[in-house]
Amino acid sequence: MAIVNVGFLQDLLHTITQRDSRAMRRARQRGLPDSAADLIDACRTLMDSDGEASSIALAQRALDIYKSLATDEKKAFFQSLARDFSADRVAIEQAYGAWQSHHDEATLGQLFAACEPARQELLRRLNLPAGGTLELVRMRQTLLEVMGDDPELRAVDADFQHLFGSWFNRGFLVLRRIDWQTPAAILEKIIAYEAVHAISDWQDLRRRLDQRDRRCFAFFHPATGDEPLIFVEVALEPAIPERVQAILDEDTDGAADDGPLTTAAFYGISNCQRGLRGISFGNFLIKQVVTELSRELPDLRQFVTLSPMPGFRRWLDELRRAEPARLDAETLATLDRLDDPDWVDDPSTQETLAGPLRSLAAHYLGVAKRRGNTPLDPVANFHLGNGARLERINFLGDRSAKGLETAAGMMVNYLYVPDEIERNHERFTADGHITQSSNVRDLSRRARKMIQENPAP
Amino acid sequence: MAIVNVGFLQDLLHTITQRDSRAMRRARQRGLPDSAADLIDACRTLMDSDGEASSIALAQRALDIYKSLATDEKKAFFQSLARDFSADRVAIEQAYGAWQSHHDEATLGQLFAACEPARQELLRRLNLPAGGTLELVRMRQTLLEVMGDDPELRAVDADFQHLFGSWFNRGFLVLRRIDWQTPAAILEKIIAYEAVHAISDWQDLRRRLDQRDRRCFAFFHPATGDEPLIFVEVALEPAIPERVQAILDEDTDGAADDGPLTTAAFYGISNCQRGLRGISFGNFLIKQVVTELSRELPDLRQFVTLSPMPGFRRWLDELRRAEPARLDAETLATLDRLDDPDWVDDPSTQETLAGPLRSLAAHYLGVAKRRGNTPLDPVANFHLGNGARLERINFLGDRSAKGLETAAGMMVNYLYVPDEIERNHERFTADGHITQSSNVRDLSRRARKMIQENPAP
Amino acid sequence: MAIVNVGFLQDLLHTITQRDSRAMRRARQRGLPDSAADLIDACRTLMDSDGEASSIALAQRALDIYKSLATDEKKAFFQSLARDFSADRVAIEQAYGAWQSHHDEATLGQLFAACEPARQELLRRLNLPAGGTLELVRMRQTLLEVMGDDPELRAVDADFQHLFGSWFNRGFLVLRRIDWQTPAAILEKIIAYEAVHAISDWQDLRRRLDQRDRRCFAFFHPATGDEPLIFVEVALEPAIPERVQAILDEDTDGAADDGPLTTAAFYGISNCQRGLRGISFGNFLIKQVVTELSRELPDLRQFVTLSPMPGFRRWLDELRRAEPARLDAETLATLDRLDDPDWVDDPSTQETLAGPLRSLAAHYLGVAKRRGNTPLDPVANFHLGNGARLERINFLGDRSAKGLETAAGMMVNYLYVPDEIERNHERFTADGHITQSSNVRDLSRRARKMIQENPAP
Amino acid sequence: MAIVNVGFLQDLLHTITQRDSRAMRRARQRGLPDSAADLIDACRTLMDSDGEASSIALAQRALDIYKSLATDEKKAFFQSLARDFSADRVAIEQAYGAWQSHHDEATLGQLFAACEPARQELLRRLNLPAGGTLELVRMRQTLLEVMGDDPELRAVDADFQHLFGSWFNRGFLVLRRIDWQTPAAILEKIIAYEAVHAISDWQDLRRRLDQRDRRCFAFFHPATGDEPLIFVEVALEPAIPERVQAILDEDTDGAADDGPLTTAAFYGISNCQRGLRGISFGNFLIKQVVTELSRELPDLRQFVTLSPMPGFRRWLDELRRAEPARLDAETLATLDRLDDPDWVDDPSTQETLAGPLRSLAAHYLGVAKRRGNTPLDPVANFHLGNGARLERINFLGDRSAKGLETAAGMMVNYLYVPDEIERNHERFTADGHITQSSNVRDLSRRARKMIQENPAP
């Protein structure tokens, strides 16, 4: 379709594309793939501009070139960022000398400025055009995929993370309710990004959004528009729920005769942008959603999750296979039943497994630790770190193939008790203490009889 | 009015206010005013929190305390920011040593991190609560007012500016048209912030917004909500306008019989937030407004300003008083007429003054420079730096008291010619070259006969 | 300013303007003013169109001609509506005959259709273009101004009212809160339309909208856009207020130390469109605002008005002058003090007048009736008819010039008690019974001793 | 879920439900089903109310009862509307007498008012609550389904239609673009209501909405909220399209290399509300969409439909079977090939059929008429009545099962030429003249040789 009105900024761009030839030749001689060299040249032109007249157009051009690159060319570009857009060694040494002489804030500021790699300014300039922020988030996603243990690329990633930490400051995030009134363009992203319990189609999505006892909230950033950053799915329930299928399959518009809906259950939290890894949103999201729900529904009495235990089965299987001696013989024999894929449909096996699995799950969540005194389970680590309490272990809470495969069907409730959160958080941070319900403590105690202490976890 | 629903986050806060007593005592002993000490304590608690569980509430509390401080207490707080929220000397020295050994990106990144003053992280955390960004902008406004030449406070200001440069990146700004459909809460800010041609009341405002041939656009930032950052007022005209009163007073909904409206005239650009000094918006605003107007009105043929010359009269008077020998006698005598406040109403005086004033204005704008080869006049410096062309000098373009007092009534048109902008900008940046119309060049030439060259400008 | 894109519908119009010449000649021969004849011709062309292809353009043309008419031409147009756009006599007689033969719903429907004046269809067609509804409302406003007792014009007005009753059905109205976030284009209409306590300027308006304890709500109709139909101003108070100046002048953002805000006081209800006379909105507005406020502020305990008594002083003065014998001598003498314009500033006069005026006001509101058993006072008639209770009489409730002139400064509170409204309304409708507080009843009793019964009210 | 805040209006309702017992008994004695009798009682109470205090609540109650009725009870209710909510015979006779005496507008107005069936006022009052309008539209949909030829029910329907004609006046409709930013709640209705080319799922929908060369627009009414009334699907094309599958299946985001998009093709128009039958929207929708598209895309040069011929196959089969003598033998034989369902996949059959089918289609559209001189084909009748031109016949334009079954795969383009529309419309209305391209005329001419004239069409 013909574009009617040629943009003013595009005119500008036209007048500046000619003067690049020299810069281009320079980069090409250094053996970069042609297109990556083009990009480096475009970035250099952008840095040479003083950030004013034509910088939006220049930044747009650089982003366009970047998008056209193959993955290995992108990697070459990242390597060039490390090498060619670093800081000036002499300037650092001079600034350091000055600071050593004065030890004052002025020379400190100059030293700080001298140490900032040039690529940070480059990234800020690439952020000038509309849509630039999302491009940069995706750029970092690729960087994360290709960087491996390369220390240079990791340094580049640190610069991304430094900037994103500033740009995606919680003060800039916007909470929006997601429901059936939400534009389809956003909803299809919710379908795509759901990471915990996959959404099979629009009908499935509707069940999670368009019933009186369901809620969904997401954080958005003004500069990334319709792209959700993270979202949480909530079911309003008459009590703490134990089975996620009951939530996912329900199609009766809840309410029913089960009594007043006193409990908000967070049954899915999904991070949407892999390029924002390490930028923390989840904790803020939970707390703000608790505030929103309290305002809308003053009768809510408790806030709880229904959470997966993604590493339980692997931990359990390793225990069985690598260290069978740590388990008593009866437990070992019982657990063998898990190897029959039909165990889940056999009531007597269920009965036999329920007790041991609940105890071992309590042990896995609350006792098993990795170095640094943090729980083995990442979800446990997240909620306990946020100040939640380990409330209840649910046998066959998730009968989906994924749930059985990763957690033998076990699920867990973490309870957010306003009065406790701060204290729980502090104790967890200080010494790894995990607040648990008496019920979970009992299970742990039983597990201790089933598992031999292992001096080196 | 009773607040009905006690917020979840407020509950949180309550549980953490008790543990502060020790920190408080510590700060007070150091002789700060009590309330500034409270604030420093609150900031320290905020830094001690790991940015998660309760940090929004803690940041809100710190901002609340800050707002309650008197100006001298705020200054004491800024001084404490310089002293007590700096970087760790030993950590810097160690990081420097490591970098000297390796000279790689990893150790550079650690050195950069070590040099970052702790107050940068503090400011990022103070930005967590809703409304925090605007509070920080106002905080910097106060800092600018009190810092004088204090090098420590200037270092603190550099940290503000560093963060604001990132947060107020052009990619995050939103352009909105301001018109009679705009909420009153925003319009009253437009009235308050207009810095060029004061808006006397709502009726005056309406004349500038609610006529077919008037436009107004502003940049907003999502995190500062209804607060305009900068705005520009535009009149659509059949030709380049020369008198601002014709624009300001017009009440006939233009159009009229003057022919097609081919010219967009920018007659007022006002920065709204003194706390954002040094963060550049104006250039981006002009270019984006040109793009918007071109889209809406494809018949527009030229984009021009009608600008003040705020320093002209002072420059002229200094010339007359301090260096009379540089002016020829006739010019000197003619200029004496300016000292009669009624000169503006006397046709014969007008006739006499018009020629010399136009020539001298051309000289003032295009020839007079300060160190660094930049024009004396700040508005000229802005538009010429953006790539505009010095197009026309207007005698009695602004007959307001302010216009007469600051510029002897002279105004100037800067013309933005898309094809020229980039080249003009480059030449101006490179060697201070100013692109001028032939008409202005003629005026400058005449001025050269009136003013003796001054070897040391 | 050149309009770029010639509308499709305008092209259409162009092709149909030629065929009108015959119709035009016809109308002109009948002696109408030229322009009114043009309009009648345009209306006839619109009726001849079958409501499809070009009717929007034709209707727009008719409205444009109408707007260009002088008032007497408009009157001529209305007269032509009565004469020339009536119903067909023969068709009515035939339909009546058929109905008499069958007395069934089918022939009734045909009779109804035959009796409908053609102007009703004309008005429906004039409503086709965007903005047509508002034009028709203004058309009726003019009709009301010129119609006097003319029975033909009154019949035309009945058709307007019939249609408006359908179009402005409460189900189509939209309630919107008016506050400082409302566009200026609407706010300036609120200033213009305030009919009870004039708003002097934008600052005065702001006091009524932008304080925590003030609210304003208006009904809008989707087809009349930004035009408010009716609005109500509310003050949230710790108790039933008695003085309107305390509400209007307050600038302290209320709340204060007066205790919780338990009372919503409606202190101004203004109808905005004189062309909608007789279409009832006020009652629905009050009830919906009560619902909205209850939702927002669950602590509200009572809903009350602070209302004027616009006819009190005239009634009182007529009583004094025309029927002095009905008042006892002492009362008459006391009331003479009202003739001194300074009475309101003299404390002792105030003291003397307070008692009698309160009693007489209670009598005026609750006892004095016109034919049909309705209260003399129109505001009383409105609120009592809505089911409110006559709660309290306030001496010097309104010290404004208008308040003193029309009501000797008296004001009154009507209380809306949810449990009572229906019963009060029914009793008022059935036999004119007025529900009163015991306090007002006492005042009425005292008034009965001051005023002689008048056998023919 | 507990509802927190009991509505003010619900309190009201409670106080009025007791007094209904008498009215209820009355209706029940008359032998109506209990629930229909309840509804009639509720309606009577609503009519007894004077439209003020409690009428919203009363109307809501009546609507609630109505919704709970079974279909036969609804029919009983409609019959009662005819019988019990008619007009007063004596009042009509008196008003008629008065009008006969005076023959003036005042008595005409009274006669009109006397003839209005009470159910019209009832429907207006049922429209008071939020959502009432949509309920009434659905009520009429049921009425249309059950009324058959019952003259009483048809009279009730006439009253619905009279009111809806007023309420759904074009001046009240709102045009909205439907795209991928539209809320899912509306999009799922688009999927459900598409009546021409069924939308199979969300992915299919997306193809029609979310490509650069697709548009969709719908009319909404403010009182029926998210319910579309009618919508049109548009494809932007480089030329007049002939095959609908090319439009429906395209997934390449068009543009491509086919040249500039000069043609807007309307390939689907769907009425959404069966309860609004007879209320005309389609013509207005097309004209306004033409205006919108012209504004957005000034390069558009033509506006055309790609339309089905829903009655072609039936007409053709009847001709072949009932009147074979009218077709020449060769044509008859050729057409027999249509009876083989695989004809569409056989190139040689295609070649054989193309010519005859195109000619016969031209005849069917442009020559075959029913009584009243209107085209047999309803879609032809619609577009030709709107002033379009019969432009082109497309062989195998629609290869879907439905297209083959109803039209032997034929489709047709109607062209909207602004300059012609009014004249075409007039000639069509006046004498059934159909404007055709020379191409279609040629086809018709050929058809005349294939089909014998039939004296009684």
D181 close contact with C: CB closer than 8 A: no
Does the beta-carbon distance from D115 to C112 stay under 8 Å?
yes
Residue of A nearest to D256 (CA): A1
* Pairwise CA distance, residues C333 & C327, whole Å: 10
Closest partner residue to A183 among D1, D180, D298, by Cβ? D180
B207 close contact with A: CB closer than 8 A: no
- Which residue ranges of chain C lie beneath pLDDT 50? 1-25, 29, 51, 254-255, 455-457
Q: Under CATH, which number does the domain D171-305 receive? A: 3.40.630.180
* Pairwise CA distance, residues A247 & A228, whole Å: 23
Q: What is the pLDDT of residues C440-456, one digit of tens each?
A: 999 999 998 888 776 44
Closest partner residue to D418 among C12, C223, C418, by Cβ? C12
* Pairwise CA distance, residues A116 & A139, whole Å: 20
Does the beta-carbon distance from A169 to B167 stay under 8 Å?
yes
Chain A and chain B share a number of CB contacts under 8 A equal to 201
List D55, D359, D383, D444, catalytic entry = D383
Q: B11 falls in which pLDDT band (50, 70, 90)?
A: very low
Length of chain D: 457
What single string gives the DSSP state of each residue in D248-305? HH--S-S-TTS----EEEEEEEEE--GGGTT---HHHHHHHHHHHHHHH-TT--EEEE
Chains within contact range of chain C (3+ C-beta pairs < 8 Å): B, D
* Distance from the first to the final alpha carbon of chain B: 64
> Tens-of-pLDDT digits for all 457 residues of chain D?
222 233 444 444 444 444 444 444 455 545 566 788 899 999 999 998 764 557 888 999 999 999 999 999 999 999 999 999 999 999 999 999 999 999 999 999 999 999 999 999 999 999 988 899 999 999 999 999 999 999 999 999 999 999 999 899 888 899 999 999 999 999 999 999 998 899 999 999 999 998 999 999 999 998 998 999 999 999 999 999 999 999 998 775 544 556 889 999 999 999 999 999 988 888 889 988 998 999 889 889 999 999 999 999 999 999 999 888 888 888 999 999 999 888 999 999 999 999 999 999 999 999 888 777 789 999 999 999 888 999 999 999 999 999 999 999 999 999 999 888 888 988 888 888 999 999 999 999 999 888 877 644 4
Closest partner residue to B103 among A89, A99, A105, by Cβ? A89
Domain spanning A308-450: which superfamily?
Malonyl-CoA decarboxylase, catalytic domain (3.40.630.150)
* Pairwise CA distance, residues D29 & A341, whole Å: 68
* Pairwise CA distance, residues B138 & D293, whole Å: 47
Does the beta-carbon distance from C171 to D133 stay under 8 Å?
yes
* Pairwise CA distance, residues B195 & B190, whole Å: 10
Closest partner residue to A298 among D4, D181, D236, by Cβ? D4
3-state secondary structure of B50: coil
Strand stretches in C221-351, DSSP E: 230-237, 263-271, 302-305
* Pairwise CA distance, residues B6 & A271, whole Å: 29
Best residue in D202, D252, D257 to probe A by mutation, most A CBs within 10 Å?
Answer: D202
Of the spans A360-364, A449-453, C30-34, which averages the highest pLDDT?
A360-364
**Which stretch of A201-210, B42-51, D327-336 has the lowest confidence by average pLDDT?**
B42-51
- State the smallest CA–CA distance between residue D339 and chain C in angstroms: 41
ipTM of this predicted structure: 0.82
Chain A and chain D share a number of CB contacts under 8 A equal to 63
- State the smallest CA–CA distance between residue A453 and chain B in angstroms: 33
Closest partner residue to B4 among C212, C255, C298, by Cβ? C298
Taking contacts as CB-CB distances below 8 angstroms, the residues of chain B near A128 are 169-171
pLDDT at residue B105 is higher than 50:
yes
Q: What is the pLDDT of residues D214-249, one digit of tens each?
A: 999 999 998 998 999 999 999 999 999 999 999 998
- State the smallest CA–CA distance between residue A406 and chain B in angstroms: 29
pLDDT value, residue A418:
83
- Residues paired with C266 in a beta bridge: C234, C305
D50 close contact with C: CB closer than 8 A: yes
Mean pLDDT of A152-164: 95
pLDDT value, residue A422:
83
Chains within contact range of chain A (3+ C-beta pairs < 8 Å): B, D
Best residue in B5, B49, B105, B136 to probe A by mutation, most A CBs within 10 Å?
Answer: B105
Chain B and chain C share a number of CB contacts under 8 A equal to 63
Taking contacts as CB-CB distances below 8 angstroms, the residues of chain B near C200 are none
**Is C171-305 in the same CATH topology as C7-25+33-167?**
no
C427 close contact with D: CB closer than 8 A: no
Does the beta-carbon distance from B184 to C185 stay under 8 Å?
no
What single string gives the DSSP state of each residue in C11-67? HHHHHHSGGGHHHHHHHHHTT--HHHHHHHHHHHHHHHS-SSTTHHHHHHHHHHHHH
Q: What is the pLDDT of residues B146-193, one digit of tens each?
A: 999 999 999 999 999 999 998 998 888 999 999 999 999 999 999 999
Closest partner residue to A260 among D2, D180, D206, by Cβ? D2
pLDDT at residue A283 is higher than 50:
yes
Which residues of C are catalytic, by number? 307, 383
pLDDT at residue B293 is higher than 50:
yes
Q: What is the pLDDT of residues B330-344, one digit of tens each?
A: 899 999 999 988 899
pLDDT at residue A142 is higher than 90:
yes
D414 close contact with C: CB closer than 8 A: no
Strands C230-237, D389-394: parallel, antiparallel or unpaired by DSSP? unpaired
Mean pLDDT of B382-392: 93
pLDDT value, residue B419:
82
pLDDT value, residue C25:
46
Buried b (16+ CB within 10 A) or exposed e, A419-428: ebbbbbbbbb
Listed by start position, the domains of chain A span 7-25+33-167, 171-305, 308-450
CA dihedral B128, B132, B138, B141 (to 10 degrees): 10
pLDDT value, residue D16:
44
Give Cα C437 distance to the centre of its chain. Answer: 28
Taking contacts as CB-CB distances below 8 angstroms, the residues of chain C near B213 are 1
pLDDT value, residue A31:
58
pLDDT value, residue D455:
47
Q: A10 falls in which pLDDT band (50, 70, 90)?
A: very low
pLDDT value, residue A25:
46
Closest partner residue to D152 among C105, C154, C166, by Cβ? C105
- State the smallest CA–CA distance between residue D245 and chain C in angstroms: 30
* Pairwise CA distance, residues B190 & B178, whole Å: 9
Domain spanning C7-25+33-167: which superfamily?
Malonyl-CoA decarboxylase, oligemerization domain (1.20.140.90)
Enter the pTM of the model.
Answer: 0.86
C185 close contact with B: CB closer than 8 A: yes
- State the smallest CA–CA distance between residue A401 and chain B in angstroms: 34
Does the beta-carbon distance from D54 to C425 stay under 8 Å?
yes
Taking contacts as CB-CB distances below 8 angstroms, the residues of chain B near A290 are 8
pLDDT value, residue C7:
45
List D55, D307, D359, D444, catalytic entry = D307
A112 or C53: whose pLDDT is higher? Answer: A112
* Distance from the first to the final alpha carbon of chain D: 64
Taking contacts as CB-CB distances below 8 angstroms, the residues of chain C near D152 are 104-106
Residue of D nearest to C173 (CA): D223
Best residue in A1, A212, A213, A236 to probe D by mutation, most D CBs within 10 Å?
Answer: A1
One-letter-per-residue 3-state SS of B181-214: CCEHHHHHHHHHHCCCCCCCCHHHHHHHHCCCCE
* Pairwise CA distance, residues B363 & B315, whole Å: 11
* Percentage of chain B lying above the pLDDT 70 cut: 89
**Encoding tokens for residue B48?**
């001690």
* Distance from the first to the final alpha carbon of chain A: 64
D158 close contact with C: CB closer than 8 A: yes
Chains within contact range of chain B (3+ C-beta pairs < 8 Å): A, C
* Distance from the first to the final alpha carbon of chain C: 65
Does the beta-carbon distance from D2 to A255 stay under 8 Å?
no
- CB atoms < 10 A from the CB of D191, how many? 15
D383 classed as catalytic: yes
Does the beta-carbon distance from C15 to D422 stay under 8 Å?
yes
Mean pLDDT, chain B, rounded, equals 88
Q: What is the pLDDT of residues B282-291, one digit of tens each?
A: 888 998 999 8
